Structure 1
Amino acid sequence: MSVRDAYDLPMSAADDAVGAGYDAYVREFLSYGSKLRALFEIADAAPQSAFLNAHAAALHLAFEGAEGWAAALPYLERMSSRRGSALAREALFCDAVAAWARRDFAAALAALDELTVRWPADLCAIKWGQYHAFNLGDQAALLRFGERARLVHEETPYAQGMIAFALEQNHRLAEAEEAGMRAVEIALDDAWAQHAVAHVYETERRPRDGARWLDHCAHTWEKKGVFIRDHNWWHAALFRLGLGRPEEALAIYDARLWGAWPEFPQEQIGAASMLWRLELRGVDVGARWKPLAAQARGRANEHLFPFHDLHYLLALARGGEPGEARAFLKSMPREGGAWSIAALAGEGMLHYARGEPTEAASCLAAAAPRLSCIGGSHAQRHLFAETMAAAAPARPARASSP
Structure 2
Amino acid sequence: MEGVKLDMWGYEVRTSSDSCISAINSYYHQVLSYGRERSVILEALVHDKDCVLANILAASFLCSSDPSRAPSHIQAAKSLLEQATKYEKAVFDAVIYLISQDRDDDVAVELYFKLLKDFPRDLVSLKRAQVLCFYMARADLSLDLVQQVLPINQEENYIYGMLAFPLLELGKMADAEKAAKKGFEINKQDYWAQHALCHVLQYECHFKEAVEFMEGCSSSWSSCGSFMLTHNWWHVALCYLEGSSPIQRVLEIYDHCILKELERSDAACPEVYLNAVGLLLRLYVRGEIDAADDRLKILAGCLTDEVNWYIEWHFDCLILWALASTGELSKAEDLLKGLKSRFSRMSKKKQQKMHRGMLLAEALYEYGRGNDKEALQLLGPDFDANNCKVIGASDEQVDVFNEIWYSTLLNTGQAVKAIEVIEKQIKKREGVPFLWRLLERAYNLAGKKEAAIIGEKARALETAYFK
TM-score of the two chains, using structure 1 as the length reference: 0.91
Unmatched 5+ stretches in structure 2: 411-417, 419-441, 450-467
Aligned partners of 2:206, 2:225: CA distance in 1, in Å?
27
Q: Counterpart of 1:234?
A: 234
| Residue number in structure 2 paired with 1:364 | 379
Instruction: Report the Cα distance in structure 1 between the residues aligned to 2:448 and 2:302, rounded to whole angstroms.
Output: 51
Q: Distance in 2 between matches of 1:378 and 1:58?
A: 27
The Cα offsets for residues 165-204 of structure 1, whole Å up to 9 and x where unpaired, read as: 1211121111111111111111110100000011112222
SS at match of 1:3: strand
Distance 1:163 1:360, change over 3 A: same
Relative distance call for 1:292 and 1:44 in structure 2 (3 A) is farther
Show the counterpart of 1:386.
403
CA drift at 1:295: 4.1
Equivalent residue, structure 2, for 1:310:
317
- Alignment partners' CA distance in 1, 2:242 and 2:195: 17
Deviations 1:87-123 (A, max 9, x none): 2332232233323333326144332222112211111
Paired letter, 1:318: S
Q: Tell me which residue corresponds to 1:132.
A: 132
Structure 1 residues 360-369 or 167-176, which shifts more?
360-369
- 1:230 Cα shift? 1.0
Aligned to 1:279, which of 280, 284, 306? Answer: 284
Secondary structure class of the residue paired with 2:161:
helix
Distance 1:208 1:37 in 2: 37
Q: Which range is displaced more, 68-77 or 183-192?
A: 68-77
Cα contact 1:329–1:347 (8 A) shared by 2: yes
CA deviation string 1:118-162 (max 9, x = no partner):
211111111111111112211112112221331211111111111
Matching residue of 2:150? 150
Tell me how far 1:40 sits from its aligned partner.
1.2
For structure 1, which runs of at least 5 residues remain unmatched after alignment?
none
Measure the CA separation in 1 of the matches of 2:64 and 2:160: 22
The Cα of 1:252 is off from its aligned counterpart by 0.5
| Structure in which a larger fraction of residues adopt helix | 2
Counterpart position of 1:15: 17
Q: Which residue of 2 aligns with 1:251?
A: 252
C-alpha change, 1:327 and 1:147, in structure 2 (3 Å) is same
- SS of the residue 1:221 aligns to: helix
Determine whether 1:99 maps to 2:97: yes
Given that residues 109 and 129 in structure 2 are in contact (C-alpha distance below 8 angstroms), is that contact kept between their aligned partners in structure 1?
Answer: yes
Q: Secondary structure at the match of 1:48?
A: coil
Structure 2 residue matching 1:11: 3-state secondary structure: strand
Q: Output the CA distance in 2 between the equivalents of 1:136 and 1:166.
A: 12
Report deviation, 1:301: 9.3
Tell whether the 8 Å contact from 2:117 to 2:149 is kept in structure 1 after alignment: no
Tell me how far apart the structure 2 counterparts of residues 224 and 305 of structure 1 sit (CA, whole Å).
20
Residues 320 and 399 (structure 1), Cα distance of their counterparts in 2 relative to 1, 3 Å cut: closer
- Alpha-carbon spacing, 1:265–1:110, altered in 2? closer, same or farther (3 Å): farther
Report the residue type matching 2:408 in the other structure.
Answer: A
Paired AA for residue 359 in structure 1: E
1:62: Cα distance to partner? 4.2
Cα deviation, 1:39-65, whole Å, max 9, x if unaligned, reads: 2121243221121111122223344xx
Task: Determine the C-alpha separation between the residues in 1 that align with 2:81 and 2:304.
Answer: 37
In structure 1, give the amino acid aligned to 2:329.
P
Q: 1:280 to 1:227 in 2, by over 3 A?
A: same
Contact 2:14–2:51 (8 Å) recurs in 1: yes
- How far apart are 1:211 and its partner, in Å? 1.3
| Aligned partner (choices 335, 347, 354) of residue 369 of structure 2 | 354
Partner of 1:340: 355
Identical columns (%): 26
Contact kept in structure 1, 2:322 and 2:368, CA below 8 Å = no
Distance in 2, matches of 1:73 and 1:264, equals 24
Letter of the 1:248 counterpart: R
Distance in 1, Cα, partners of 2:333 & 2:140 = 34
